């Protein structure tokens, strides 16, 4: 089911990067940055299975953000899961 407002997928690893429900399962992100992405059974959609841990990994993830065919990969900027937790 497609929502009118993009929704952050529940399977994403906590952190600043996430995939939303506009993902079409094309698999490009896995080809570009395989260690950060995984998919649900059948490959219907993909999600962030691990967040980048350093600047080099961040660069790889940024490329996936820019090349995602559905503009479905996003970032909350420098905010981390722990920042969100502390401010909520
Ligand atoms: S590149 Fe984008 S649309 Fe394609 S599987 Fe990855 S998140 Fe989904």
Q: Over the stretch 20-59, which tens digit does the pLDDT of each residue have? A: 999 999 999 999 999 999 999 999 999 999 999 999 999 9
Angle 31-66-85 (CA atoms, 0-180°, nearest 5)? 95
Residues lining ligand 1, Cβ inside 6 A: 19, 23-29, 46, 68-70, 72-73
* Span from the CA of 6 to the centroid of ligand 1 (angstroms): 14
**Residue 27: its pLDDT value, please?**
97
Domain boundaries, the chain: 17-87
Confidence (pTM): 0.84
Q: Which CATH number fits domain 17-87: 3.30.110.30, 3.40.50.720, 3.90.105.10, 3.30.70.20?
A: 3.30.70.20
Element holding 60 (H helix, E strand): helix 55-67
For ligand 1, atom 8: residue with the closest CA: 23
Closest ligand 1 atom to residue 64 Cα is: 1
């Amino acid at each position: 089911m497609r929502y009118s407002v993009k929704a952050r997928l529940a399977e994403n690893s906590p952190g600043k990067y996430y995939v939303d429900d506009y993902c079409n399962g094309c698999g490009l992100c896995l080809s570009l940055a395989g260690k950060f992405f995984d998919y649900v059974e059948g490959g219907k959609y993909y999600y962030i299975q691990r967040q980048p841990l350093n600047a080099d990994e961040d660069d790889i993830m940024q490329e996936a953000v820019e090349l995602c065919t559905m503009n479905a990969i996003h970032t909350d900027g420098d905010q981390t899961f722990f920042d969100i937790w502390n401010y909520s």
